[in-house]
Amino acid sequence: MSEAKKTTAAALDELEISLQKLELAAKEKSLSVARLKQSARMSIEKIDRLTSTLNQVVK
């Protein structure tokens, strides 16, 4: 294989690895966002329950 082909193949391999790293980072970020949304939902549910309890106590 010529030197140019070897260099091109090596560059393509590096690009592939970089793309895989980017995809992994995007998946991790997506999971972080999903966890934050779930945590927010749980907090809202707790607030709703507390509000309901307080409303019953006030009545």
Domain ranges of the chain: 1-59
Give pLDDT, residue 37: 96
Q: Of 22, 18, 42, 19, give the one whose Cα is nearest residue 34.
A: 42
Chain-centre distance of CA 20, in angstroms?
A: 15
Rounded CA separation 46/56 (Å): 15
Give pLDDT, residue 58: 85
**What are the pLDDT tens digits along the chain (59 aa)?**
799 899 999 999 999 999 999 999 999 999 999 999 999 999 999 999 999 999 998 87
Alpha helices in the chain (DSSP H): 3-58
Written as six digits, the tokens of 57 are 């106590």
